[in-house]
Structure 1
Amino acid sequence: MEKALAHISEDGTRTQTVYEHLSGTARLAGAFAAPFGAKEEAEYAAWLHDIGKYSTAFQQRLAGGATTDHSTAGAQEAMKGCAPHVQAAFAVAGHHTGLPDGGNKRAADSADGTLFGRLKKPVEPYDGWREVTLPQSAPPDWANRDPLDFAFFTRMLYSCLVDADFIDTETFMNGQAAPRGNSTALSSLLEKVRTKAAGYLAAQSTLPVSSQRNAVLRACMEKGAHGAPGLYTLTVPTGGGKTFASLAFALEQAAAQGMKRVIYVIPYMSIIDQTAAVFADLLGAENVLADYSCADYKSLEQEKLTPAQYRQLLASENWDAPVVVTTAVQFFESLYANRSSRCRKLHNIANSVVIFDEAQTLPTSYLLPCVSAIAQLVRHYHATAVLCTATQPALEPYFRQFAPELPLQEIVPDTATLYTTLRRTTLCDAGELTLEALTSQLCALPQVLCVVNRRKTAQEVYAALPAEGSYCLTTLLCAADRRRQLAEIRQRLRESLPCRVVSTSLIEAGVDVDFPAAYREQCGLDSLLQTAGRCNREGHRSVEESLVYRFTLEGCGVPQMLRQNVHAMQYAAGCAAALDSPEAVRAYFKELYFARGEAALDTSSILDALRKGISGCIFPFAQVAEQFHLIEAPTRTVYLPVGEGKGLCDQLRSGTVSRTLYRKLGAYSVACYAQQFQALESAGALEPLPNGSAILTDRTLYDPKTGLSMDVETGKGLFF
């Protein structure tokens, strides 16, 4: 009897039997799941995932016949017996189409696509699978103690299966293994960090900033080398050297605990290049993966990739790299995803050190699902998590809900002293200012940063500033022009040339600039202190002369989305002697979260959906994936035919549609709110595209200095 086949090479000269594929996939999946104690269970799922290929219908499919379902058979086998492997059944059922909803056991229909529906679905006979011997296995005990544990383990098991399935298939189809891995050992990367750290620690400096940065670095290296895996905070004022110190902690911890990688999670895509470049310069570009949508290696056709770029592209599929730099959106949305393309990487978060940079930016509306996910990784998947920020959010009560046995450990022992020593600015209350008074004060200073709440306000203030050395930074500028302007701003600051910058909050997210003075429109305390972190950043000026003014703008109320933040700061101001103190920050976040209430910390009811189901549908993996989106702004994209964007827009017009093209266009696009998009469209300034985006046709409405115009004919409407 001929052996059943799983794959035939594209040239038809080679074949892989089903048994060979199941065996190879099981070996890989088991290795992926071993760090969290699920080696045998992953092997079990892998041995079952393609047994439907033993059917005559699938063998005919290989010969050119009709498509057939080969996933359901394995899911049905996993559910047989007195101890069904439910998580394995979910993983097997969804290894091509995505983790399904569980459905309703009684009401499920064989055609509804849920797991319970698939279990009732008739399948083609697959008798040949009896050559497979299933391993004796069961999920770890903790994987079934709680619905959240169950759901998280299901995704991690699914990740092991789909990554192993893809790699085994890829290896066969290519005739050889793809160039994955081959990176430098973490121990060698640690030596590079230790060498650089030794240079910092040996340098003599009279500046308090330098000595305190060294104290932070020493604490991080000591705690990393000797601390157990767990949940940590790194609370250091802006400019205190958190980025390098946290990397040193992570590599020390990974080496000491036998961990596989370091994952650096950054809140905004606008600064990922900056951080990844710093790490690549230190550790070698081949050892640092920057995984985000606009990365260069994702913007080229495969045949144009260099070998190094090709390895990065492969690594981005499953985070097979020693150091990964990614965004919070990518990280958390993947943890709640159900598609194989998003979930392949998840098993590689296990046995890793994960640094959450600017932890105060964890989205409030999804705070509880994010905290739950972090707790899962630390409790069950041999991960260490570090919440790294100058304004540490008050998350202890929420971590206690999900992991009562895990204390939050502060890496730097005396943060109060650190804040006193590293205080580099004086916060001042400028009260209410008219637009004219504000611009007059800005014009009187040769170098100053002003951060406002609305994009419209930024453009208005900029228009009143001297032309030379003035800049307007908002998301109305495309990414290419923002990068260009930031480079010019840094150069002018270094050369002591006039430099007045008015910006929205985007400059607060880790953008490395150093102004002698700053202004911040009323906002939350975290935003105020982030703006202060762009003033006297290096400590070359005295605290008394480095002034940061908070102000309200006459005629401009507080945006709805900031009202609770402003209220919480007013509360914190009454609880602490100084706003730039750990006590004030603690009071601010406690009030902010308390005022919103727990329902507002999970507005899409993600955790309830996993605990209780949705309308009788248990474990609604697909529905949760659809609902979990950290960025929910109702915007539409406008592509700009400026610079290199002109040729890219021409390609769109010619009918070229590809992921590569859209990724390149990302640097020449602006996200518009509905009202602004409609105004541009009504003015005849847009060429609509089938996917709901558009190309700007009136190029006079885009200025490379201020961005896309908000005044289209009527000039009505405030957008922010």
Structure 2
Amino acid sequence: MESSPCIAHISDDERSQTVLAHLQNVALLAKSFAHPFSGDEQAELAGLAHDIGKYSDSFQKRLRGLPIRVDHSTAGAVECWGRGQPFAAFAVAGHHGGLPDGGSQTDGPDQTTLWGRIKRKEWGLLEPYEAWMQEVMLPKTEVPDFTERSGSEWVFFTRMLYSCLVDADFLDTEAFMEGQSRERYQTSIEQLWNKLQDYISGWFPPEGELNRQRCKILEQCIQEGETRAPGLFSLTVPTGGGKTVASLAFALTHAKQHGLKRVIYVIPYTSIIEQTAEVFREILGVENVLEHHSNVLYDLDRAADPHTISLAKATENWDIPVVVTTAVQFFESLYACRSSQCRKLHNIAGSVVIFDEAQMLPIPYLRPCVWAISQLVKRYGISAVLCTATQPALKPIFREFLPQVPVQELCPPDTCQWDLFRRVTFRQTGCLTWDELTAQLNAHDQVLCIVNTRKAAQEIYGQLDRAGSFHLSTLMCPSHRKVQLREIRRRLKEGLPCRVVSTSLIEAGVDVDFPAVFREIAGLDSILQAAGRCNREGRRSAEESVVHIFKGEEKAPPLFSTAIGAGKAAMARYADIASPEAIHTYFSELLDLKGCDAQDKERILPLIQSEFFPFRKVAERFHLIDSPTRTVYIPWEEGANLVEQLRTGGGGRELFRKLGQYGVSVYEQHFAALEAAGDLEVLENGAAILRNPALYSDTTGLSLEADSGKGLFI
């Protein structure tokens, strides 16, 4: 009598999927995902092997309700390893719990490393699963040629292979459990290109000299998209030159010309992302643009909205034509070991990836970031575009990792007349006390002042004339800042008094337009970002739109000292501190002052090269935002209801994402002082709620003093 087939999944309505069907489906999907980087055979092997541990009697009993734990992932890894296929072995071993470290041959079977897990078979610690051989034939596979070059390339390839496997596994399981496959996005790159052509058609013929220059930049990017082969590019466009639409025009034209499948925008800050994504949605349609970062909420309670559900699902694997995301999301996924983060990686292959403000990549992780971009260009068929005026400073690092691939400029200096885009005059005003500074600020009806610390922002705001004055800093929760910014924009638009003192958060692409800006001495990049908030719309002459650079009465924080030193050197050397030459000098000086070791402070690349597939160690070390802060949730406005849900036992992922709009990050010493004074309620799960509402102001946010009155100089 024939035995009944082994089952992989049982649905809520009691349907069953055989292990064989699941393995074949996953192998086929994974193979298609890996095709753009020649990983087809490896992915097919991993797909067929990943769940053969489910052929064990123990797993079948567990599936039918017996409360036993079964390791079903190691079996497939053992079979791949025994066939001389370590890349597939890693992918299979990690398809549930995350990619393991390789470890060493001395590891015992109790270790979670791959070496340790492989030994579980020879020690007789795996449930017998030999029944797989009656149904499954694992193919003989060849390793792609490039993986023979170096251990670091092996690690990158394995992570991409892992992405193909886990996405295929999730998709097939989801399709079976829900009774239908996920709908793929039907819009083609050519259709998106046509939408862009419709959008820009009204721009021609351009009216006015500025618009003529913008259209020259746009036409140049379209032409370059048609004629350039895939590779590594820079796009240097003056502020106000229409970089957002021009870069999208290059990306869509280039993708259409070369059969690339999507466009991914990588942007340093969420405030820039929100504006960029809104522009793209207007051009391409809301259904074709995924905005993926920590501040975006897709409310799945609205089950009647299939569009929202589709976007929420697209965050899992980026299967959508246009993705707008953060540098944190992009690079931390490339160095992650968990399936939830790695699942999307294979969809980066064969894409146009645009890195906006590439000079803002954190210096402590600069070399790992550049190396990852280089790998994607070299082996995974992407075209990378560095949107920055500071590309020459990054050029030596790219030349080290990609010696045969030059960085090609898409918009050479002679494309347009840069001087026409000059909108401000810089003036160095020397030292100012806070009293002197606030006197000058109060003399303006509309003015922005940006300082280096939250403490300084609160002190200066306290001395401003109250009528029409505003404070912005990260001591205010994001929802509160948005309310303030809406009022600030309204007053600027209507010509009402509007004096704003802010920390650097307003520099990161926040769309405001002041006639005058004061910027405390900082790195040249910060000063130029601040200048982007002055005469932003070009309604005034550059001569009457002044950016005042001053030294405040506080000593600069140590964190800023190197950048300030490099900035001073560039400003002393160049009369025009916004020139490409000054910017290049600044970043070259900054990188030289920091030194090569500081560009990979966690020693990520040496670790990858020296240890055997250290996936977990790398993931633990690679965090682009790595400040020692704690979050305090504020019961402000709508946040009060969310905080109450948290207090009464809520704590799901959706709740915490909503609470993110009402969280303030504070340094450890600030947190400790608030807790010691009894101003915080710390829940069992570690979440902290502000207990004392008197410490949160509607004008300045969270106080820098606990209720004990102790000042915190941060």
Q: TM-score range by the shorter chain?
A: over 0.9
Structure 1 CA distance for aligned equivalents of residues 480 and 103 of structure 2: 48
Aligned-partner Cα distance in 2 for 1:474–1:640: 15
CA distance in 2, matches of 1:182, 1:520: 46
1:550 aligns with 2:549: yes
Q: Following the alignment from structure 2 to structure 1, what is the Cα–Cα distance between the partners of residues 6 and 17?
A: 6
Deviation larger for 464-473 or 94-103: 464-473
CA distance in 1, matches of 2:173, 2:4: 18
**For 1:250-301, what per-residue CA distance to the aligned partner results, in whole angstroms no more than 9, with x for missing partners?**
111111111111111111223322222221122111111111223221xx34
Residue ranges of structure 1 left out of the alignment (5+ in a row): none
What is the 5 A alignment of 1:515-530? 515-530=514-529
Question: Whole-Å Cα distance in 1 between the matches of residues 712 and 239 of structure 2?
Answer: 32
Shift of 1:573: 2.7
- Counterpart in the other structure of 1:222: 223
Paired residue for 2:194?
Answer: 191
Distance 1:125 1:682, change over 3 A: closer
Change in 2 beyond 3 A, CA 1:374/1:305: farther
User: What's the CA shift for 1:664?
Assistant: 0.9
Mapping for residues 96-245 of structure 1, pairs under 5 Å:
96-105=96-105, 107-122=106-121, 123-130=126-133, 131-179=135-183, 181-206=184-209, 208=210, 210-245=211-246
**Cα–Cα, structure 1 residues 146 and 717, in superposed 2: closer, same or farther, change >3 Å?**
farther
Equivalent residues in 2 for 1:598-617, closer than 5 Å: 598-613=596-611
Q: Which residue of 1 aligns with 2:643?
A: 649
TM-score (norm 1): 0.95
Letter in 2 for 1:532: A
CA distance in 2, matches of 1:74, 1:705: 59
Question: Which one of the candidate residues 594, 616, 619 is aligned to 1:622?
Answer: 616
Counterpart residue type for residue 31 of structure 1:
S
Could you tell me how far 1:227 is from its partner in structure 2?
1.2
Partner residue, 2:80: 78
- For residues 170-212 of structure 1, give each alpha carbon's deviation from its aligned partner in whole angstroms, at most 9, with x where no partner exists: 1111111133x23422211111112222322423114x3x333
Contact in 2 for aligned 1:455/1:719 (Cα 8 Å): no
Deviation at 1:398, TM superposition (A): 0.6
Q: Tell me the equivalent position of 1:659.
A: 653
Task: Give the Cα–Cα distance (whole angstroms) in 2 for the partners of residues 202 and 241 of structure 1.
Answer: 16
**Cα distance in structure 1, aligned partners of 2:578 and 2:349:** 36
Letter in 2 for 1:78: C
Aligned equivalents of 1:146, 1:487: Cα separation in 2: 52
Question: Percent identity, aligned pairs only?
Answer: 54
Structure 1 match to 2:309: 310
1:232, 1:386 within 8 Å by CA — same for their partners in 2? yes
Q: Distance in 2 between matches of 1:343 and 1:166?
A: 12
Shift of residue 308, structure 1, vs aligned partner: 0.9
Aligned residue number for residue 93 of structure 2: 93
CA distance 1:704–1:304, shift in 2 (3 Å)? farther
What SS does the aligned partner of 1:120 have?
A: helix
Cα displacement string for residues 509-556 of structure 1 (whole angstroms, at most 9, x for unaligned residues): 1111111111110100111111111111122211111111110012x1
Shift of 1:418: 4.6
Alpha-carbon shift at residue 69 of structure 1 (Å)? 1.0
For residue 159 of structure 1, what is the amino acid of its counterpart?
Answer: S
Q: Distance in 2 between matches of 1:679 and 1:525?
A: 35
Amino acid at match of 1:90: F
Partner of 1:69: 71
1: CA distance between counterparts of 2:98 and 2:681? 35
Alpha-carbon distance in 1 for matches of 2:355, 2:304: 31
Tell me the residue number matched to 1:446.
445
Aligned ranges for residues 468-487 of structure 1 at < 5 Å? 468-487=467-486
Distance 1:441 1:593 in 2: 35
1: CA distance, partners of 2:174 / 2:164 = 15
**Contact between 1:238 and 1:390, CA under 8 Å: does it hold in 2?**
no
**Deviation at residue 416 of structure 1 after TM alignment:** 9.5
Cα RMSD over matched residues?
A: 1.7
- Structure 1 residues 3 and 393, CA gap change in structure 2 (3 angstroms): farther
1:38 maps to which residue?
39
Letter in 1 for 2:232: L
Distance 2:707 2:10 in 1: 60
Out of 563, 566, 569, the position equivalent to 1:568 is 566
Instruction: State the partner residue of 2:11.
Output: 10
SS in 2 for 1:7: strand
The answer to whether structure 1 residue 670 and structure 2 residue 664 are counterparts is yes
Residue 703 of structure 2, aligned match among 699, 702, 709: 709
Q: Determine helix, strand or coil for the equivalent of 2:393.
A: coil
**In 2, distance between residues paired with 1:504 and 1:308?**
37
Question: What SS does the corresponding residue of 1:139 show, helix, strand or coil?
Answer: coil
> How far off its partner does 1:694 sit?
1.2
Q: CA deviation at 1:414?
A: 1.0
CA distance in 2, matches of 1:518, 1:90: 54
Structure 2 partner of 1:507: 506
Q: Distance in 1 between matches of 2:356 and 2:296?
A: 20
- The CA distance in 2 between the partners of 1:418 and 1:607, in whole Å, is 41
Q: Per-residue CA shift, 1:370-397, capped at 9, x if unaligned?
A: 0011001111111011111344461111
Whether the 8 Å contact between 1:6 and 1:21 is mirrored in structure 2 is no
Q: Distance in 1 between matches of 2:289 and 2:551?
A: 43
Whether the 8 Å CA contact 2:451–2:519 is kept in 1: the answer is: yes
SS in structure 2 of the partner of residue 424 of structure 1:
coil
Q: CA deviation at 1:6?
A: 3.5
Paired with 2:212 and 2:484, the residues of 1 have a C-alpha distance of: 32
CA separation of 1:190 and 1:570: change in aligned 2, threshold 3 A? same
- Matches for 1:349-364 after TM superposition, within 5 Å: 349-364=348-363
In structure 2, C-alpha distance between the alignment counterparts of 1:305 and 1:670, rounded to whole Å: 33
Structure 1 residue aligned with 2:686, among 682, 692, 716? 692
Residue aligned with 1:467, SS: coil
Separation in 2, partners of 1:390, 1:450: 24
The alignment partner of 1:360 has SS state of helix
Residue equivalent to 1:367: 366
Aligned-residue offset at 1:3: 4.7
Contact 1:359 1:393 in 2 (8 A): no
Number of aligned positions between the proteins: 707
TM-score, normalised to structure 2's length?
A: 0.96
Maintained 8 Å contact 2:268/2:327: yes
Partner Cα separation in structure 2 for residue 201 and residue 519 of structure 1: 38
* Paired AA for residue 218 in structure 1: E
CA contact (8 A) 1:162 1:344 kept: yes
Q: Aligned partners of 2:300 and 2:387: how far apart in 1?
A: 36
Tell me the amino acid that sits aligned with residue 611 of structure 1: Q
Q: Please state whether the residue corresponding to 2:704 is helix, strand or coil.
A: coil
Secondary structure at 1:296 match in 2? coil
SS in structure 2 at match of 1:78 = helix
Residue of structure 1 equivalent to 2:677: 683
3-state SS of paired residue (2:22): helix
* 1:448 to 1:29, Cα distance in 2 relative to 1, 3 A: same
* Deviations, residues 424-448 of structure 1 (Å, cap 9, x unaligned): 1111101000101111111111111
Whether the 8 Å CA contact 2:27–2:45 is kept in 1: the answer is yes
Question: In structure 2, how many angstroms separate the alpha carbons of the residues matched to 1:574 and 1:645?
Answer: 48
Contact 1:302 1:310 in 2 (8 A): no
1:419 CA drift (Å): 3.7
